[in-house]
Chains A and B, each alone.
Chain A
């Protein structure tokens, strides 16, 4: 089992967390603050280029050069460990670190690019960033602190039927570094267990992609959504009520498109989609709007909260929309 740190952590911002589900970041901070994880967020950190990389728009050298800059920001601030909230950031950063450490020609090219950009101070030396010892998914940081998390649980979520969707770019790219299973992934199942929730465990299609496929969702939508729909059908057969995620792109594919697929197929799945950070934060008693950020979800989370009978000030978004409409009329 690899060593997982709990300090000197740069919490690495993700483009899709930023603008689609920012509640993943506030939930992660909420948990880190309570389980004694020392971390830092740097406003200078650029995106990993992940979406652009898999749209085939970015070239590998540019992606690697930007990674070198971000690695130096991490090192310079004394936060040499990187924790990501997005599985694609995880895969991209590890690959870039591998290239910078193993490929002298590429490293020299990257350093020349940095020199030409007046960023000599950011030059990369071999093993400034160790992809195994320094790059993690936040779920791994939680896993390392799961006993502490268990001791802080305030809300009982065990009444729901829960399944997990493990992100491909965490499990299957650098699979030798993946913890808690690759072909039968259980990392987020273990985290659900830490907050007192027994998931359904293995199910047919458990390891199948969300279907986003980067370009596929936009240029091949029918094919992309067919893969998503297949997984949703299996989850429905298993009577799943909550699907837990560890990647904002997967969460987007399921949360944004579930109603669309329901309409097309004239069926209902009624599955809530939460990131593992949001789920743990909820179990720890975090506010749904001020921490979890459920107001950015497409499938409303309010019905889930109502079942918990918590003293939250629940906003009924559908009722609100109706009221606003009638006011306008």
Chain B
């Protein structure tokens, strides 16, 4: 008689995904019926080879190569897939977890290294913004007025009756201390070391 033997670890990837801190307790990945609603409404899928339905199938089939698939970096994090899923699954959230797995493995770091200036600004001012790595391209795309806005922002805010957007020193120290103890500071250093 033929029997089907389920591999012991056949659900390793999906279990790892569900264990992740980002995974909502009600994440319905096991309920996925592969209907493809997620892919049909996905801006990433309409413009690139990214296919959230296929990504979910590969997670459920324990296909770890999905972590290294370039296409997972084409998700827009718009959550349209989440809002429309009839099974309560959230492909956008799972995508974010897979990207973190890729970063933890090392390969994914190259994908985020250009954003590391955001982390520096956060540690320094207690606020983030568009990473200054991209200022030049923004000024080129938007026009020189964009640079003027950046240079005069505190004056413009004062004209609008708003105070400085930078946190007081004591608050910045608190934020920095939290980010040191949470491991973010080390993580940021590790990412920056990968700068080519």
Q: Is the CB of B79 within 8 A of A168?
A: yes
Contacts of A66 in B (CB 8 A): 175, 178-179
Size bracket, chain A contacts? 35 or more
A65 to B181, CA, bound (A): 10
Size bracket, chain B contacts? 35 or more
Q: Are A223 and B79 CB-contacts (below 8 A) given A47-B126, A291-B160?
A: no
B20, B82, B127: which contacts A18 (Cβ < 8 A)? Answer: B127
Main SS class of interface, A: helix
Q: Which A183-224 residues have a C-beta within 8 angstroms of B?
A: 183, 207-209, 211-216, 218-220, 223-224
B33: Cβ under 8 A from any A Cβ: no
A82 to B47, CA, bound (A): 36
Q: Are A19 and B122 CB-contacts (below 8 A) given A43-B171, A59-B100, A183-B83?
A: no
A293: Cβ under 8 A from any B Cβ: yes
Q: Are A19 and B21 CB-contacts (below 8 A) given A172-B82, A218-B134, A291-B160?
A: no
Q: Are A117 and B21 CB-contacts (below 8 A) given A43-B167, A257-B142?
A: no
Q: How far is the CB of A185 from chain B (nearest CB, A)?
A: 10
Stretch in A96-104, A137-145, A308-316 touching the partner = A96-104
Contacts of A175 in B (CB 8 A): 82-83
Q: Is the CB of B161 within 8 A of A26?
A: yes
Stretch in B7-15, B56-64, B106-114 touching the partner = B106-114
Q: Which B123-160 residues have a C-beta within 8 angstroms of A?
A: 126-131, 134, 137-138, 141-143, 145-146, 149-150, 153, 156-157, 159-160
**What are 15 A-B pairs with beta-carbon distances under 8 A?**
A44-B170, A55-B112, A57-B115, A61-B21, A168-B78, A169-B79, A208-B80, A209-B76, A211-B43, A212-B76, A213-B43, A214-B77, A218-B114, A218-B134, A296-B156
